[in-house]
Chain A
């Protein structure tokens, strides 16, 4: 079964488990390669298997970039549709980076369209994204839930305040856990540019969060170690 951008195992894992995971990754890669080959020939069912494997990752990236559920859904759907049409142009390499690049480009299109025609859809006003029932944990205390939701809103507001290019890099790196090289493949910029955008984005976000100290958790280190 394909995984949606799962991080490799950290330190401390046993050697045998590492080997199992490595073999599983290889099997997944082979499955993915065969699916990609079929999709390039026009097999839509093979492509839909790839969609199911990467849709959660793609949707979350789109959501964190756009900050709106409806726009994120539109960008994700548009991205997969464009990816299917352009499958014959995929020349190998990381399919994950390739499909995320298409979805990110769709997000940029949405951002440009929003800047050209600034509107506030009614859904943005009525729907509180972080209060979605999908995120509710039944065992969670009400106070904790409110704090978590407020923190989520604060983080999303901080991300929305970043320039587009810095926001994309911060989301891919710190929210999705991608490496500098993967981010470079998705955004088609040099490693040095990824490093500088990430550094500036994090510094800005830090400043934004510190300006709302009261909403930060107690374990957020405000003093030196």
Chain B
């Protein structure tokens, strides 16, 4: 093992050994190995011969004089001016880069401070929100506003094909428009859950939509002359109509598909659904109308944060210095190319 290391060491240090550039310890180690390794001795001899040959390469005489003409004398002064300008440009670029870094750091620091980024408009809104949140009247209005949002969402669901529940005397009249709303194309209908024809309830897929009564869907096949096969299956011919009318169903997964309302074989409702009754929907509609009309009080304007002005100034300066720095860098590159030795 040691012999292999010595061999590698010798081969890699023959050249400095020839030039006398090894330490005493390295030289002893190398010579000890040379005494025992004929291959390394031959390598050394060949290397020595190469160096000697190179030393014997004749010196070529100069084919002509390389002295400079007097006409180049002004070039030195001109080059000296270029060099001075280049040095000044380099210093200015370094200074601009330093200032730019300071401004960017300041921008980041100011941005991290709480309240520093409040522009006049933002301060306005923040205070309005906090004041309104503290008042009891505001709380009530907030609740009403939330209800408004819910009702509007329900309306959106209705527009996508859910049939609103109507009072009993209007069910027939409403069924026809509801049937028209229901998609009759088989392709758009969601196939019923498995086991449907055996009267089992379908699995309720998860849905974020509010639940509603969709009794009118049972009439869709009859109204449009048959509808889909699935719906026909779901409607047992023997089931009384009024049972189907009063059955409550779970939510549908996709509002765009026809409601997959399925009556249970028993006459009892399958699952109690906390959905708004038609009367409650009407109440919400009225309340919605009332709530939307009431305006929100305008908050008292506030002065902007003192740091905001500073932050804005820092940003503007950063942009200006950054642009100036780019110009300096371009000039530096161009000048460096011109003065290149």
A residues neighboring B (CB under 8 Å) = 42, 44, 47-48, 51-52, 55-56, 58-60, 63-64, 69, 73, 76-77, 80-82, 84-89, 102, 105, 132, 134-135, 151-152, 155, 170, 173-175, 177, 180, 195, 198-199, 202-203, 205-206, 209-210, 216-217, 220-225
Contact B58 A152 (CB under 8 A): yes
Q: Is the CB of A175 within 8 A of B42?
A: no
Interface of chain B, main secondary structure:
helix
Known: A42-B76, A195-B16. A81 touches B68 (CB 8 A): yes
Contacts of A202 in B (CB 8 A): 15, 47, 50-51
Say yes or no for B12: interface residue by CB 8 A criterion. Answer: yes
Question: Does the CB pair B12–A155 fall under 8 Å?
Answer: no
A76 touches B66 (CB 8 A): yes
Question: Is A206 in contact with B47, judged by CB distance below 8 angstroms?
Answer: yes
Q: Which B residues are CB-close (under 8 A) to A42?
A: 73, 76-77
Q: Is the CB of B76 within 8 A of A88?
A: yes
Closest 6 CB pairs of A and B: A174-B54, A199-B15, A224-B41, A48-B67, A85-B79, A221-B45
Contact B68 A180 (CB under 8 A): no
**Among candidates A47, A195, A210, residue contacting B15 with C-beta atoms closer than 8 Å:** A195
Complex CA gap A47/B75 in Å reads 14
Q: Is B60 an interface residue (CB 8 A)?
A: yes
19 A–B contacts from the bound complex (CB under 8 Å):
A44-B68, A51-B65, A56-B59, A56-B61, A63-B60, A64-B57, A86-B341, A105-B341, A132-B60, A134-B60, A170-B54, A198-B15, A199-B12, A206-B49, A209-B53, A217-B53, A222-B46, A223-B45, A224-B42
Whether B67 lies near A86 (C-beta < 8 A) is: no
Extra inter-chain contacts (15) besides given A44-B73, A81-B68, A88-B76, CB under 8 Å? A42-B77, A51-B67, A56-B59, A59-B60, A73-B63, A85-B76, A85-B79, A134-B61, A135-B60, A155-B57, A195-B16, A203-B15, A205-B50, A223-B42, A225-B45
Assembly CA distance A81 to B73 (angstroms): 10
Asked whether A221 and B66 contact (CB < 8 A) given A56-B59, A59-B60, A86-B79, the answer is: no
Q: Is the CB of A80 within 8 A of B68?
A: yes
A52, B65: Cβ atoms closer than 8 Å? yes
Within 8 A of A (CB), among B1-32: 12-16, 19, 21
**How many A-B residue contacts, CB cutoff 8 Å?**
130
CB of B63, distance to nearest CB on chain A (Å): 6
Residues of B within 8 Å of A205, CB to CB, are 50, 54
Q: Mark B58-101, 1 if CB is under 8 A from A, else 0.
A: 11111111111010110111011001000000000000000000
Cβ-defined contact, B60 with A88, below 8 A: no
**Residue of A44, A87, A195, A225 with most partner-chain B CB within 10 A:** A44
Q: In the complex, A198 Cα to B51 Cα: how many Å?
A: 11
CB proximity of A42 to chain B, nearest CB, Å: 5
Given the interface pairs A155-B53, A221-B49, A223-B42, the reply to whether A102 lies near B341 with Cβ below 8 Å is yes
- On whether the beta carbons of B47 and A84 are closer than 8 Å, the reply is no
In whole angstroms, what is the CA distance A195 to B23 when docked? 14
Residues of chain B with a CB closer than 8 A to A82's CB: 341
User: Quick one: which of B60, B63, B341 contacts A85, CB cutoff 8 A?
Assistant: B341
CA of A205 to CA of B66, assembled, Å: 31
A197 to chain B, nearest CB (A): 10
CA of A87 to CA of B60, assembled, Å: 27
Q: Are B61 and A203 in contact (CB under 8 A)?
A: no
Whether A224 lies near B38 (C-beta < 8 A) is yes
With A105-B341, A225-B41 given, is the CB distance from A51 to B68 under 8 Å? yes
Least CB distance, A215 to chain B, in whole angstroms: 11
Known: A180-B21, A195-B21, A223-B42. A206 touches B50 (CB 8 A): yes
| Chain A residues with CB under 8 A of B53 | 151, 155, 209, 216-217, 220
B195 at the interface (CB under 8 A from A): no
| In the complex, chain A residues whose CB is within 8 Å of the CB of B44 | 224-225
Residue from B13, B16, B55, B76 having most chain A Cβ neighbours under 10 A: B76
Contact (Cβ within 8 A) A55 B51 = no
Question: Which residues on the B side are within 8 Å of A206 (C-beta)?
Answer: 46-47, 49-50
Which residue of chain B has its CB nearest to the CB of A173?
B19
Task: Tell me the complex Cα distance, A89–B38, Å.
Answer: 52
Residue A224 contacts which of B45, B63, B66, B80 (CB distance < 8 angstroms)? B45
Closest to B50 in A: A206
Q: Which residue of B lies closest to A79 (CB)?
A: B66
